Amino acid sequence: MTTPLLDVSDLTVRFSQDRGKVYAVNGVSYSLARGETLAVVGESGSGKSAHVLAMPGLLGTGRYTGAGAAVEVGGSAVFAGKELIGMPEAELRRLRGSRIGFVFQDPMSSLNPVLTVGEQIAEAITSHGVSPRTAEARALDLLDIVGIPEPRRRARHFPHQFSGGMRQRAMIAIGIACEPALLIADEPTTALDVLVQAQIIDLMKDLRRQLGMAMIWITHDMGVVASIADTVQVMYGGRIMERGPVRAVFHDTRSAYTWGLLNSLPDAEMHAPSLAGRRPRLRQIPGQPPDMTQVPVGDPFAPRNRFATHRCLSETPPLQQVADGAPGHLVAAWYDLPQVLRAVAHRDASPQALTEMGT
């Protein structure tokens, strides 16, 4: 087996604020192969963004934490043979934008409003030791590659003259400017309308093929995951709950949280409602997201999980290969979900009984 591009082990992230500590990431380990697309899903506070952005040193910049919050990152993240955790900032900065590219959710706040789009792309290239003239020509190529029409004219425009979709394309041009081995995309389509989102997803798929780069795509949208991912990693309470090939996780779900997420979505094949008669309810996950200021104990999803056992509440389950599952399909659970679901289905034959996944 070849060495992975990224090898993460026991990564932890803590924020210290005036209200106390936030246990944002609580021991995350995995590896990413060259050219692999990993989708990281989870809700706010799951640690999905925090753990990814901690690695290239982006958490201390104030983008994701309030000003004044101290960040402690522990564990290890080895990227192309080099340890990122504890790497001096100057070295990290060289890595960012050359070997690791970024695309963020909101291009308007990531782009500089007083520089033209062409200047910003060229700057991303020259800062890594390319002559300005070459960089300028390359910037035009990149605008063309990301599907911006009339690159020569558009390069002279400022970000506010671009539509939301075009700004995200410009952001992507900067992200891939130095042909990174890894592109980190943090909710890159969340702020976009569905038609523009579809275009951006298609573009990213093309670029991935052309450049052979690996991608970590952070999202909360299971549809987007199904569309782009090779591997999916479901996070909750700062931990990985389930991880594996996308088909295995969707069709042979082993974590009650993943199951709850997938089943709480409306069914596109549902019958149209009529004014008379009770309309079907969604299968909601009861309760509220965990309080991340508490020292984590046990399975973080246990308080919302009707299948939880006493052990789930007190002891943290390790992330382990699913015994009879696809290779690389891992789950952190003390319960056996397929078995539990069979038992429930047997006990109450009506699917209505599963509407509320709580007790």
Partner 1 sequence: MIPSVQGNAPDLLRVEGLVRHYRGDAGIFSRHRHVVPAVDDVSFTIGRGETLGLVGESGSGKSTVGRLIMRLDDADAGRIVFDGRDITDLRGQGLIDLRRRLQVVFQDPYASLNPRRRVGDIVGAGLRAHGVETSQSGLRDRVAGLFRRVGLDPGQLDRYPHEFSGGQRQRIGIARALSLEPELIVADEPITALDVSIQAQIINLLLDLQDETGLSYLFIAHDLGMVRHISHRVAVMRRGRIVEYGPVGAVFDDARHPYTRALISAIPIPDPDREASRRQIAGDDGEVASDAKLREVGRGHWVLA
Q: Which residues bind partner 1 (CB under 8 A)?
A: 43-44, 164, 193-195, 197-198, 201, 220-227, 246-247, 250-251, 260-262, 264-268, 270-275, 278-279, 281-286, 288-289, 304
Token pair listed for 121: 């792309």
By beta-carbon proximity to partner 1, the closer residue of 91 and 356 is 356
Q: Is 10 left (phi over 0), alpha (psi -120 to 50) or beta?
A: left
DSSP state of 271: P
Task: Judge whether 237 and 13 are in contact, CB under 8 Å.
Answer: no
The CA-based angle 290-292-298, given to 5 degrees, is 65
Nearest to 257 by CA among 220, 208, 223: 220
117 HSE (CA, 13 A, CB side): 32
By beta-carbon proximity to partner 1, the closer residue of 64 and 250 is 250
By beta-carbon proximity to partner 1, the closer residue of 278 and 346 is 278
- CB 145 → partner 1: shortest distance, Å? 21
- CB 209 → partner 1: shortest distance, Å? 15
Token pair listed for 233: 């990693």
- CB 187 → partner 1: shortest distance, Å? 13
Q: How far apart are CA 318 and CA 330, in angstroms?
A: 10
By beta-carbon proximity to partner 1, the closer residue of 225 and 332 is 225
> Look-up: residue for tokens 């087996």?
1
Nearest to 247 by CA among 267, 262, 268: 262
- CB 263 → partner 1: shortest distance, Å? 9
By beta-carbon proximity to partner 1, the closer residue of 67 and 276 is 276
By beta-carbon proximity to partner 1, the closer residue of 27 and 244 is 244
Task: Judge whether 26 and 296 are in contact, CB under 8 Å.
Answer: yes
- CB 232 → partner 1: shortest distance, Å? 9
By beta-carbon proximity to partner 1, the closer residue of 132 and 286 is 286
- CB 163 → partner 1: shortest distance, Å? 10
By beta-carbon proximity to partner 1, the closer residue of 3 and 163 is 163
> Look-up: residue for tokens 């679901």?
341
H or E element at residue 69: none
By beta-carbon proximity to partner 1, the closer residue of 32 and 201 is 201
Q: Which residues contact 331 (CB under 8 A, 6 or more apart)?
A: 241, 242, 243, 254, 255, 319, 320, 322, 325, 337
- CB 194 → partner 1: shortest distance, Å? 5
By beta-carbon proximity to partner 1, the closer residue of 8 and 248 is 248
- CB 82 → partner 1: shortest distance, Å? 33
Beta strands in the chain (DSSP E): 6-17, 20-32, 37-41, 70-79, 82-83, 100-103, 182-186, 214-219, 231-236, 239-245, 320-321, 330-331
In terms of Cβ atoms closer than 10 Å to its own Cβ (0-12, 13-18, 19+), residue 314 is exposed
- CB 295 → partner 1: shortest distance, Å? 19
- CB 43 → partner 1: shortest distance, Å? 4
